[in-house]
Amino acid sequence: MVDRPNKPAALATTPGLPPQAQVNITHDNSRVNAVLPSGESIEVLLYGATVTSWKDRAGNERLWLSDAAKLDGSKAVRGGIPLVFPVFGTAPDHAATSKLPQHGFARTSIWEFMGSSTSESTGKSDNSVKLDFGLSQSNLTDESKKLWPHPFSLQYSVTLTPDSLGTGMVITNQGDQPFEAQLLMHTYLRVKDITKVSVTGLEESDYVDKVDAAKTKKQSGTVTISGETDRVYTPAKGPSHPVVVSEGGAATFTVVRDNLDDVVVWNPWIEKAAGMGDFEPKDGYKNMICIEAGAVKGWQKLEAGDAFEGAQVISV
């Protein structure tokens, strides 16, 4: 056979089709990961549908995950993006959720992976992937069913593009009686030095200061972190106005919300971090800030058959 110097190379992809994201289920069917053709990636743990990793094309991590985070389903994950539903914190005076554990059961339940879709079907850029997850009453443990007897469904979508991560939730009341619920996406963003971080977009906004006896205050300017911080903001300019995290004066993350009126800003600082067994390294508070999009100041009431939808997009 004659060896031709210009023979065609093996085809890497189907002719005429652009490269598509690769989606795999790993770790004994407990995790879903997706990698874009350009190299960005995400990983989602089915326990809690928790996004545990979001990397840029160079492999740099954009989310903070504790070195001691439990990824075996034994407790809620410390870091990434845990999901809070149907109660934020605890609500001893709210009959429907008073007996639930802190932050509810969504972050400690096993979700179903419902499948993936690429840019062709998501309508996003030519380089994106959407992962869909579901949770309903039938997925709950017997204990959670006793504490939350309301038929419901949660549909959670995680969308990765080269320069953004979007997360969206649809809550549906599948029962014949109304229920009230809260929702929060507890996002841990990775930073290099918390003392150089500033947050804009919350100016002139009312907030509840949970470190200072839950007093209601108003933000006068840029938010900076110099001690334990736990604040529930209702941004004055609404969900579509961006909340921007800057470091050393340069914007690193921009968060825009859809139908989620509240933003929690959290950093445990020295003493609180030292007291959490699953927070490692203990000085990890220097490298994270939580900017948490949610609907938590009041309650979302869903009548029979009603649905509530909320979402965020984090851009870099």
257 among annotated binding-site residues: no
CA 153 to CA 115: how far, in whole Å? 16
Which of 180, 203, 292, 303 is labelled catalytic?
A: 292
d(CA 256, CA 316): 12
Short-list 227, 230, 228, CA closest to 217? 230
194's torsion region: left (phi>0), alpha (psi -120 to 50) or beta?
Answer: alpha
155 is in an annotated binding site: no
107 is in an annotated binding site: yes
Q: Answer yes or no: 292 catalytic.
A: yes
Give one DSSP letter per residue of 7-46, joined into a string.
PPPPPSS-TTS----EEEEETTTTEEEEE-TTS-EEEEET
Q: Among residues 110, 105, 159, 106, which one has the least CA distance to residue 132?
A: 159
Question: Do the beta carbons of residue 179 and residue 154 sit within 8 Å?
Answer: no
Nearest Cα residue to 108 out of 97, 116, 100: 100
Our measurement of the distance from residue 109's CA atom to the centroid of its chain's CA atoms, rounded to an integer in Å, reads 15
Half-sphere exposure in the Cβ direction for 253 (13 Å, CA)? 28
Structure token digits, residue 289: 């800030």
> Do 130 and 117 touch, CB atoms closer than 8 A?
yes
Given the residues 186, 203, 228, 309, the one annotated as active site: 186
Annotated binding site for substrate: 78, 102, 107
Active site residues: 186, 292
